[in-house]
Amino acid sequence: MADFVYCEKSLPFEVRAKDLVDRMTLPEKVVQVGNQADGVPRIGLPKHEWWSEALHGVSDVGPGTYFDDKVPGATSFPTIILTAASFNESLWRNIGQVVSTEARAMYNLGRGGLTYWSPNINVVRDPRWGRITEAPGEDPFVVGRYAVNYVRGLQDVEGSENSKDPNSRPLKVSACCKHYAAYDVDAWLGVDRYHFDAKVTEQDMIEIFLRPFEMCVRDGDVISVMCSYNRVNGIPTCADPELLKNTIRGEWDLHGYIVSDCDSIEVMVNGHKWLGDTKEDASAQVLKAGMDLDCGVYYNNSLAWIFDGIPAYASLGKKDICSNENIELATDAARQGIVLLKNDNETLPLTTFGLSQHLKNDKESW
């Protein structure tokens, strides 16, 4: 391996990446293009799991991170909608910095990766959507500013925030803004996210649903954007070249990769039954539309984090995870997010008297 150009850290990433890819056979390249990249042992390329989560702290939801007796858990910050209610941008960035420090410590201990598919920046349009606690709220600008600051906290390496070459800047961890776009239904009255077709006007699409993602890419310089399960005006988001290739990568100039929500290509085939495509047809559609990485098994594409090696984070370990200082920051974030409502006419607390009959009457009127 000492003779491999891609192992020489003094060389530009572009040179090292080309050398690495050139050494692979076609079958070896194919098995790198999903969230579970197999690696190539013969040239020293390790396996890599892309899927990890860090919405409000390092989580073990994704298979790329796990807890055990040595590291039983990471600092859990308040839910996103509460933290966003603080309207404190420096707090949002600070939380991101602490989360990425703990992620680096987990990585050093062999219990986590460096690619985190967070934050969730879907604009909350209906409180009945069961995931509103994951998102920053209903205002597209506030959602966008949250995205910018949290992503900067996760990704930025001190001193390299304004790198001249954004394609080769060092990263603390990689963030991902999701779910793109017009995605705010899981299951409601027989409609679920695997079959939902969002009918959106051009004005609403630009001003409401795309605006936070544009801010995340342009101002936050996020490494990744995740396309969603749903269709928008008839077209699956992961297969729409206007949304992916032309907008995210072209107009907004993404310096990274576009990934599917997990099994989105399968959803196109079996849920939406898009154009009657086979799995091979659907894979070709999303590839041509601009989707780089498949969270699933339909196709795979990208490189593992073999190009890392930032010395400043090498000493991070168990002491840096869920420390007293980090727990206090989480507590302070909860304090700042608490919103006191004006209790006119002693409306609160609400009474349950007569509520059952009221709900029954409402249901009968649907």
Answer for the pair 333, 153: CB distance below 8 angstroms, yes or no: no
Residue 85, token pair as written in the block: 């209610």
| CA dihedral (167, 152, 300, 25) positive or negative | positive
Could you tell me the two tokens for 219?
């101002």
Tokens of 331: 């507590």
Cite the active site residues: 261
**Structure-block tokens of residue 19:** 């050398």
Strands 187-188 and 191-192: antiparallel
Are 260 and 153 in contact by the 8 Å Cβ rule? The answer is no
- Diameter of the chain by CA atoms? 77
Residue 344, helix vs strand vs coil: helix
Q: Are 316 and 74 within 8 A, CB to CB?
A: no
| Residues in contact with 56: Cβ distance below 8 Å, sequence separation at least 6, in sequence order | 76, 77, 78, 79, 80, 83, 95, 99
Q: Residue with structure tokens 């986590």?
A: 112
Q: For residue 261, count other CB atoms closer than 10 A to its CB.
A: 22
Concatenated DSSP letters of 226-264: EE-SSEETTEEGGG-TIIIIIIIIIIS--SSEEEESTTH
Q: Looking up tokens 């009255």, which residue turns up?
A: 189
C-alpha distance across the termini of the chain, in Å: 67
